[in-house]
Chain A
């Protein structure tokens, strides 16, 4: 029986699962506290229709949560898509909205995860909590896999691959080989979005922040939740206390730093979500200089670095001096299709210090030890397989596939006379609809051609007048989407 379907006979399981007590006995032995009010205790069983007493705790709602204006952007897109599908049950809705990967993960990676999963049911291969012993077991496991490969005549990675088997070491080598970032600077996680919140917890409520405008919503939203911001100002669609660094066609999608108010923290994403723009080396040198002059910390999100098409920097640490001003957060999501598998990392260099000289990495380590318990060991094994020579090639193939999608989408909008940005160094195309509300354009595209996109204003006021089209999709769907766009806008 496939265990991936919920069991039909679940009802008999609980007594075996929980031990001696049967289901019925869990409730029948309940006694009613004498002092409790009758109508509240029996509320769930037989509430009189006229009883409108709703019990409330005396715990104040977190005022920061109240500042958030709406739900998080992407669940809202999903909700609209679902509503649309209810309205048009026969429509073939194509999703180029939420940036969710669609192509299968290459087998060299999933077979490693399958083998690790299986190994967890063996004495030699079982491992518990991550650090220390977990790593040792992973090394042992990798050797088992290596020998296994020999007997199955599966193409083997070269022996020296197994010399550096721990994931942090592999990341340091693959991504930061010549940049002086060491294994101990790397913190493996369950993804960049989670890391952003952990970084916010680290930084606390008293710091000020700057973001690009538009930007990935998690930076602003997590900042609001942490209490770094003031209230939302409806007229300008900005939170007080956040410095919004406009990125637009007028400034080549790189902020004019001479007009940016200095803040403690600068969130910078390049290649950029949503605009697709990737900063040049010269621009990043200026950014690092700006941070240095103002004593700021850059939180650099390079989740799309593998999509870069030329020789512009793939890591902030390619810029001299960056180690003293920057943290970098990255993810396997968009390289290996790990959006559901959950794996990423953050680099906090030893040289990065708070104003009192205390190393930021020490505090981040404390956060990671206290507020987190490691990425799944199976996901980590997948990550390690991603960084084998075969795995790296496989990731490049996946990225190339999505880049080809991006090109098709870009060409479509270009042919229709739209001004587009992005697409060259990122799996996103940023399309300008001058003078139009982005939510209106989103709704129109969804209604008329059953295509989901993301309205630019969801990424900040600087996104108004733009639509983000993501390039993640099966080739057939992307081609069909482009056909429909041509019909709509010709």
Chain B
């Protein structure tokens, strides 16, 4: 990733020369000095005004850059990454062997496969319906296999278009807001509050038990809701989700329910929005193999669009989403899909459970660490994230301090929205020894 600091000069009429100011930039740990470059030509294509509304880069590459800068500064430091929620433990053999088999089969006449259905392999769609949504009447034809939830969120935004209004939890996974801005739903950014004009921010904090006060929430067309939540780790209760479904129903809204962390739930909180009666007519669910199968690099997820879900004119949402998927996508990799199928087999599920439990134990260790230091820490029980409160502090300052003093990277809460200020997200993905080492360092710092 690179970045030029440029002198923005109007380039509209006759092509004036543009001098690009040189700037030291850091990318992937290398320091690259940009050259002074004379450019004779600007196109006349206007920059997309929606991109201009994004003030910073996407949150997680920013964290990555800061880690690299830190490593430049302290080349011998053992950096522990509890920032970007990236899985670390190997994928169980029972799953990868299926992917090996599929890869090898592609070299045989009998086993070769070209284009798959854009919606995904029938066997995988069926397995998702049968295993993940068992007893919930979700049909395989309502499941769209994808290359991951982040990609699906943008495809859903393409589907919905720029004229819909959206609500998000505050704090929330940044892709909901950023994709909304890019599509043109968000309006202008108010610098003072850090909020976009047209977005309804549903504050979630300890004061309201991390569930928004729906009685003070304005009606919007779309409601993004993530549970178990990234970054707070809170899983909504059945009662709360019933309220949410009712709220959506009353307002004619569509919930986009992100259940990527459902496999981390420890209690009887719902694992799918479709456990709630009436949800089929108001909700889309997005999920992913990333965090339960270690597929962050393999790339596999799915979205459920129930047949009953209709636009105001009665047109089924599933028909339009299918059109988007056929036009803007070409299916998840067949090798990744073979891996997904293995995850959902009896043996695969057991193996995957083992890895999830490993991360949950990490989360417990982290939670205990902060608790022992007298800091208020939330989450960690139903999600692989711990949400730690540093009252009165700027979250970027706390992030900097922790990184500088203990060589641990975390994520400043402000990156997830104004509601994240004063909080730090600590992710529980890591080798056990790193987690224990991090715990020790944090105790030394905050004692």
Contacts and interface: CB of A to CB of B under 8 A. Distances in A.
A349 to B, nearest CB: 11
B186 interface: no
B297 A10 contact: no
Nearest to B245: A33
A19 to B, nearest CB: 6
A55 interface: yes
Contact of A72 (B163, B270, B323): B323
Contacts of A377: 297-299
Given A36-B278, A44-B137, A356 B11 contact: yes
Interface in A349-378: 350-359, 362-363, 365-367, 369-378
B68 A204 contact: no
A114 B106 CA distance: 10
Interface stretch (A24-32, A237-245, A271-279, A301-309): A24-32
Interface string A50-69: 00001111111111110010
B365 interface: no
Interface in A46-95: 54-65, 68, 71-72, 74-75
B275 A337 contact: no
B45 A265 contact: yes
Interface stretch (B207-215, B249-257, B395-403, B418-426): B249-257
B151 A373 contact: yes
Contacts of B162: 205, 227
A264 B313 CA distance: 34
Contacts of B342: 3
Interface in B329-345: 329-336, 338-339, 341-342, 344-345
B392 interface: no
Contacts of B154: 201, 370-372
Contact of A373 (B150, B174, B310): B150
Interface in B111-170: 111-116, 118, 123, 126-127, 130-132, 134-137, 147-148, 150-151, 153-154, 158-164
A206 B239 CA distance: 44
A229 interface: no
B278 A225 contact: no
B252 A57 contact: yes
Contact of A13 (B323, B335, B346): B346
A6 interface: yes
Interface stretch (A122-130, A146-154, A434-442): A122-130
A106 B268 contact: no
B interface, size bucket: 35 or more
Nearest to B315: A61
Given A16-B353, A202-B48, A339-B115, A117 B158 contact: no
B102 to A, nearest CB: 7
Contacts, number: 477
B196 to A, nearest CB: 15
A369 B61 contact: yes
A interface, size bucket: 35 or more
Interface stretch (B35-43, B198-206, B405-413, B436-444): B35-43
Given A294-B44, A355-B44, A110 B106 contact: yes
Contacts of A397: none
B303 to A, nearest CB: 14
Given A59-B221, A100-B115, A366 B276 contact: no
Contacts of B94: 3
Given A6-B126, A30-B275, A295-B43, A197 B158 contact: yes
Interface stretch (B1-9, B187-195, B369-377): B1-9
B333 A370 contact: no
A424 interface: no
Most A Cβ at <10 Å: residue of B243, B315, B350: B315
A163 interface: no
B311 A61 contact: yes
B312 A356 contact: no
Contacts of B282: 57
A162 B257 CA distance: 44
Interface in A181-236: 184, 190-191, 193-194, 196-197, 201-207, 217-218, 221-222, 225-227
A392 interface: no
A487 interface: no
A281 to B, nearest CB: 20
23 contacts: A2-B101, A10-B130, A16-B346, A18-B263, A20-B268, A57-B254, A62-B163, A107-B107, A114-B103, A118-B97, A120-B298, A121-B91, A131-B1, A203-B45, A207-B46, A355-B42, A355-B45, A358-B47, A370-B178, A373-B296, A376-B336, A377-B297, A379-B335
